[in-house]
Amino acid sequence: MKTQWQAGDRIECDFNFTALELDASTIPDGYIAGIASTPGTDRHGHKVMAGAFDESIKAKGLGGPKGVQLLVGHDWNKVGGKIKKLETVNKNLMLEAQLYLNVSYVKDIHEVVKQNGGLSFSVGFSLLEFKFNDVMENDDDPWLIVEKGDLMEVSIVTFPSQKEATMTFVKTVDTMAEFERSLMAAGLCRTRNQAHELALWAKQNVHLLQPKLPLLEEKAPTQPHPLLDVSMLKPMADLLAKARAHLP
Please name which of 27, 19, 37, 29 lies closest in space to residue 223, comparing C-alpha atoms.
19
Average pLDDT over residues 194-202: 78
DSSP 207-221: HHHSPPPGGGTTSPP
CA 193 to chain centre: 33
Task: Give the torsion sign (CA, 145, 147, 151, 153).
Answer: positive
Distance of CA 196 to CAs 119, 147, 183, 189, 240, Å?
Answer: 30, 53, 9, 9, 14
Q: Residue ranges of the domains in the chain?
A: 10-157, 175-245
pLDDT digits (tens, 9 = 90+) for 61-119: 999 999 999 999 999 999 999 999 999 888 888 888 899 999 999 999 998 988 887 78
Q: Which SS3 state, helix, strand or coil, does residue 145 take?
A: strand
Q: Global pTM?
A: 0.64
Question: What pLDDT sits at residue 192?
Answer: 77
DSSP 161-184: SSTT-----B--SSHHHHHHHHHH
